[in-house]
């Protein structure tokens, strides 16, 4: 029987008891009405708006406060100029009349009817209220003010783009790299106070599906108004009302109003010495609900790093050779203001050509005497990739339907060669030509000093394609916050590969190679098929929420690899890169294989969360997300005329993504003090090894890297615990130990 440490069981009991206790004290609450006030052109919120309720005689009765700051306990991140109203009403059929206005806008009267209130319905949304701008005549004004670089709006950090000094023509990456507490790496990875940003958005929308560099390198910094950092839900989670899902750290780049509607374009071009060139084009068309973006980039500048970025300016890592890069892309998005329909997609082409060469001289220091390595290497790399994905969604009568489809194709062609030699005394003039001729015309002192010489050639051609799609259907149960959903996803990928590997090793002064190998490897079929399906039920009552869900995952992988040891043909092995006659007789059965993997996984998950405010105004959050499952795997592996059947059934238990947590928050702008958060997180995960690693075979296709299977590998269990403290923008871990076995 599987046992877990005593402290693990105690913590489980503590979390369950805590949730049961808060459930016992949950009280029936009146109905809360929520509303948003926006202007009708750009659909931006109006935080300066005012709202009055109107009595049966048409007179103003009570004024409602418009929120202009976020409350992370209830809101999904922050929208620029946040403006929301809320008030409590009796749980009965009623009619409410409001007068809504804002300076510079035409007031309007709104009538809202409340009826058919559900037994567990605790909130209801009033349709967004839009105000038209009132006609007025502008006059000239002069404003003098200091620029604040950033400030906190609830849990959101807002960076004022105009407060940062940037060179003319700077792109978004230059702005992001200057933001306090933000680090930007070469691959587009962004961290804020050490935490990874999972979503980079433009005006609240995805841009080329998370390819950060496309957005960072093509959006002009001069078009940006604010950069906001907050925790929020994804588009799909909000569309399907899955607000119980954990929020992710999000960076949202807000454009200035004059660039949020209409056309925007920028272009760059340059030509330099040694036939270096670059060209870049970015154009976009924005409306309040639609955007279309086209971009292109071409250059042969082999160094695409920039001074000032994290770990990016290191002279010893400067690349050699030339790199030609091509990029073209089209991105579109459409979403109606109500959020009931959306469509988005993109297609990109990316191509690379790289030629490089390196020369290395190295001294190895040993107590028995130094050795000296001299090497020369050259590489040629070509690839191109085409990727596309599209998704759409529709809501009607409480039903939300979304679907997506994506595909990709890539072709990669690699060629590399290297020649190296090791001597027991220092040599001079060890160029590529000298290394090649060392056994033919080398000096006697060189031949007496040489330890070995190695020549390697590698060629590889890979073609890969994939297609995947999925759909999700969710239904919000009337008169309640509950929802039920079902989803399915299918993916298929296929790859074909050819590889040549030639190695010749000479020892001492012997001109006849001691090791001579020439391998040709052909990999096909090499395919993966995955089917995922699941259903779940989400519920919420007051400050409590939870979910129960079931997921099924089917995975089938076919992988064949055939290696031919052409050196067995001796002098008849022919020319490198061309298959000789009769090569089939040289099949290296020990390093060739066929593999068929089939996996079935069933998972049952439970989510429980308490999220609310205490009597002292502070907030408490308790989350517990255990899941149990079973994974049955079968592998049929055949190599060296021998079958290796492997089968394993594993019981899985985990607390997803540190989903066990207790979070206590106090302070904040409302209390005119620093916001402070103390969080205890706990996690558990069961890891299963790939069945290929359990096959008791030895692979010697590369004599310098021999791999051996281990049939005794066991499942791993990783326990994680961390205590985190945040004081506004200051964050550190009190402790974060982990244990694996």
My answer on whether 75 and 211 are in the same domain is no
My answer on whether 217 and 294 are in the same domain is yes
Q: Return the pLDDT at 423.
A: 93
My answer on whether 64 and 166 are in the same domain is no
| 383 inside domain | no
| 630 inside domain | no
My answer on whether 122 and 160 are in the same domain is no
Q: Return the pLDDT at 69.
A: 47
My answer on whether 223 and 116 are in the same domain is no
| 523 inside domain | no
Q: Return the pLDDT at 6.
A: 47
The predicted-structure confidence for 268-298, as pLDDT tens digits, reads as follows 888 888 788 888 888 888 887 788 888 888 8
Whole-structure pTM value = 0.70
Maximum average pLDDT range among 226-240, 440-454, 525-539, 613-627: 525-539
Mean pLDDT of 306-321: 48
Mean pLDDT of 312-318: 48
| 403 inside domain | no
Residue at token pair 């959101």: 156
What is the CATH classification number for the domain harbouring 81? 2.60.40.10
Residues of the chain above pLDDT 70, percent: 83
Rounded (to 5) percent helix, strand, coil in the chain = 15, 55, 30
β-pairing, 515-523 vs 483-507, is: antiparallel
> Nearest-5° angle of CA 487, CA 489, CA 490?
155
How many whole angstroms separate alpha carbon 294 and alpha carbon 539?
42
- Domain C-terminal end among 63, 97, 131: 131
Q: Return the pLDDT at 486.
A: 94
Find, among 324, 216, 242, 334, the residue nearest to 277 by Cα.
Answer: 324
How many whole angstroms separate alpha carbon 590 and alpha carbon 595?
14
How many other CB atoms sit within 10 Å of the CB of residue 740?
10
Q: Return the pLDDT at 299.
A: 87
pLDDT of residue 2 exceeding 50, the answer is no
pLDDT of residue 304 exceeding 80, the answer is no
* Least reliable range by pLDDT among 64-73, 110-119, 534-543: 64-73
My answer on whether 168 and 122 are in the same domain is no
Mean pLDDT of 693-708: 72
| CA end-to-end distance (rounded Å), the chain | 16
How many whole angstroms separate alpha carbon 735 and alpha carbon 366?
42
| 393 inside domain | no
Ranges of beta strands (E only) in 436-482 are: 450-476
Mean pLDDT of 703-718: 77
Show the domain range for 68: 30-131
My answer on whether 118 and 150 are in the same domain is no
How many whole angstroms separate alpha carbon 81 and alpha carbon 139?
24
- For the chain, the residue count is 741
Tokens of 293: 């973006």
Find, among 721, 598, 715, the residue nearest to 659 by Cα.
Answer: 721
- Domain C-terminal end among 65, 97, 131: 131
Render the burial of 575-605: b for 16+ CB within 10 Å, e for the rest: eeeebeeebeebebebbbbebebbbebebeb
Residue 461 contacts residue 497 (beta carbons within 8 Å): yes
How many whole angstroms separate alpha carbon 521 and alpha carbon 588?
10
My answer on whether 173 and 306 are in the same domain is yes
My answer on whether 107 and 206 are in the same domain is no
The predicted-structure confidence for 596-623, as pLDDT tens digits, reads as follows 999 999 999 998 888 887 777 788 888 8
Q: Return the pLDDT at 555.
A: 96
My answer on whether 153 and 289 are in the same domain is yes
Higher-scoring residue by pLDDT: 703, 78 = 703
* Least reliable range by pLDDT among 138-147, 398-407, 483-492, 646-655: 138-147
| 177 inside domain | yes
Query: Which of the four pLDDT bands, split at 50, 70 and 90, describes residue 16?
Result: low
Find, among 194, 176, 195, the residue nearest to 184 by Cα.
Answer: 176
| 73 inside domain | yes
How many other CB atoms sit within 10 Å of the CB of residue 348?
20
How many whole angstroms separate alpha carbon 439 and alpha carbon 523?
37
Q: Please tell me the total count of domains within the chain.
A: 2
Residue 194 CA, chain-centre distance (Å), reads 16
Q: What are phi and psi of 163, to 5 degrees?
A: -85, 0
Under DSSP, the state recorded for 144 is -
Query: Which of the four pLDDT bands, split at 50, 70 and 90, describes residue 243?
Result: low
Query: Which of the four pLDDT bands, split at 50, 70 and 90, describes residue 313?
Result: very low
pLDDT of residue 373 exceeding 90, the answer is yes
- Domain C-terminal end among 131, 166, 191: 131
Mapped onto helix, strand or coil, the DSSP state of residue 213 is helix
Higher-scoring residue by pLDDT: 170, 419 = 419
How many whole angstroms separate alpha carbon 410 and alpha carbon 432?
34
Maximum average pLDDT range among 149-158, 474-483, 575-584: 575-584
| 44 inside domain | yes
Q: Return the pLDDT at 41.
A: 75
Residue at token pair 């959006």: 219
Find, among 356, 367, 87, 80, the residue nearest to 229 by Cα.
Answer: 80
User: Considering the chain, what is the average pLDDT of its residues?
Assistant: 81
The predicted-structure confidence for 443-494, as pLDDT tens digits, reads as follows 788 888 999 999 999 999 999 999 999 999 999 888 888 889 999 999 999 9
Find, among 247, 14, 1, the residue nearest to 721 by Cα.
Answer: 14
My answer on whether 276 and 182 are in the same domain is yes
Strands of the 156-160 sheet, one edge to the other: 150-153, 156-160, 224-232, 248-255, 199-202, 205-206
Question: 321: buried, middle or exposed (CB in 10 Å: 19+, 13-18, 0-12)?
Answer: middle
My answer on whether 44 and 192 are in the same domain is no
């Amino acid at each position: 029987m599987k046992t877990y440490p005593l402290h693990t069981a105690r913590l489980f009991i503590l979390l369950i008891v805590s949730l049961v206790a808060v459930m016992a004290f949950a009280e029936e609450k009146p109905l809360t009405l929520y509303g948003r006030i926006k202007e009708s052109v750009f659909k931006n919120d109006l935080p300066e708006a005012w709202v009055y309720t109107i009595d049966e005689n048409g007179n103003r009765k009570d004024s409602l406060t418009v929120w202009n700051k976020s409350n992370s306990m209830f809101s999904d991140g922050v929208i620029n100029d946040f403006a929301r109203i809320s008030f409590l009403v009796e749980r009965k059929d009623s009619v409410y009349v409001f007068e809504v206005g804002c300076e510079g806008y035409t007031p309007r009267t709104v009538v809202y009817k409340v009826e058919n209130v559900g037994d567990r319905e605790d909130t209801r949304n009033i349709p967004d209220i839009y105000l038209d701008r009132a006609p007025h005549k502008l006059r000239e004004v002069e404003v003098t003010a200091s620029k604040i670089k950033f400030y906190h709006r609830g849990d959101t950090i807002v960076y004022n783009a105009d407060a940062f000094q940037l060179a003319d023509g700077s792109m978004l990456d230059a702005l992001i790299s200057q933001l306090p507490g933000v680090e930007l790496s070469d691959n587009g990875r962004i961290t804020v106070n050490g935490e990874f940003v999972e979503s980079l958005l433009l005006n609240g929308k995805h841009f080329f599906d998370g390819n950060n560099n496309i957005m960072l390198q093509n959006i002009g910094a001069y078009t940006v108004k604010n950069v906001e950092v907050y925790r929020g839900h994804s588009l799909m989670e909000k569309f399907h009302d899955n607000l119980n899902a954990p929020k992710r750290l999000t960076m949202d780049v807000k454009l200035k109003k004059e660039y949020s509607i209409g056309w925007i374009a920028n272009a760059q071009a340059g030509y330099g010495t040694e036939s270096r060139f670059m060209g870049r084009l970015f154009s976009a068309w924005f409306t309040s609900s639609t955007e279309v973006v086209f971009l292109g980039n071409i250059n042969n500048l082999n160094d695409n790093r920039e001074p000032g970025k994290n770990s990016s300016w290191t002279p010893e890592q400067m690349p050699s050779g030339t790199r030609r890069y091509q990029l073209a892309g089209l991105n579109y998005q459409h979403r109606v203001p109500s959020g009931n329909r959306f469509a988005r997609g993109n297609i990109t082409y990316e191509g690379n050509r790289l030629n490089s060469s390196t020369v290395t001289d190295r001294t190895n220091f040993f107590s028995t005497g130094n050795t000296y390595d001299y090497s020369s290497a050259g590489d040629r790399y070509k690839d191109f990739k085409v990727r596309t994905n599209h998704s759409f969604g529709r809501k009607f009568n409480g039903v939300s339907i979304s679907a997506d489809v994506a595909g990709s194709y890539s072709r990669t062609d690699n060629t590399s060669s290297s020649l190296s030699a090791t001597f027991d005394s220092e040599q001079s003039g060890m160029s590529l030509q000298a290394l090649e001729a060392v056994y033919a015309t080398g000096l006697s002192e060189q031949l007496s000093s040489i330890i070995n010489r190695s020549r390697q050639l590698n060629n590889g051609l890979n073609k890969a394609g994939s297609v995947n799609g999925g759909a999700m259907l969710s239904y919000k149960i009337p008169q309640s916050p509950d929802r039920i959903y079902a989803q399915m996803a299918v993916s298929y990928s296929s790859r074909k590969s050819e590889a040549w590997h030639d190695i010749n090793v000479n020892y001492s002064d012997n001109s006849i190679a001691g090791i001579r190998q020439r391998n040709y490897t052909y990999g096909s079929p090499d395919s993966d098929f995955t089917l995922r399906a699941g259903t779940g039920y989400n519920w919420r009552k007051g400050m409590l929420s939870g979910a129960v869900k079931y997921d099924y995952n089917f995975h089938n992988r076919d992988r064949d690899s055939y290696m031919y040891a052409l050196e067995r043909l001796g002098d008849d092995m022919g020319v490198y890169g061309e298959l000789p006659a009769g090569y089939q007789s040289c099949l290296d059965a020990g390093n060739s294989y066929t593999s068929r993997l089939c996996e079935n996984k069933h998972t049952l998950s439970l989510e429980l969360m308490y999220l609310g405010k205490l009597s002292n105004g502070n907030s408490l959050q308790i989350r517990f997300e255990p899941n149990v499952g079973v994974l049955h795997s079968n592998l049929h592996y055949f190599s060296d005329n021998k079958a290796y059947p492997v089968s394993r059934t594993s019981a899985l238990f985990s607390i997803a993504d540190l989903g066990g947590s207790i979070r206590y928050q106090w302070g904040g702008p409302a209390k005119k003090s620093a916001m402070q958060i103390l969080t205890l997180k706990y996690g558990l995960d069961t890891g299963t090894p790939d069945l290929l690693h359990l096959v008791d075979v030895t692979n010697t296709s590369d004599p310098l890297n021999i791999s051996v299977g281990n049939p005794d590998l066991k499942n791993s269990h990783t326990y994680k615990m961390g205590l985190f403290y945040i004081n506004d923008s200051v964050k550190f871990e009190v402790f974060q130990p982990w244990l694996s076995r």
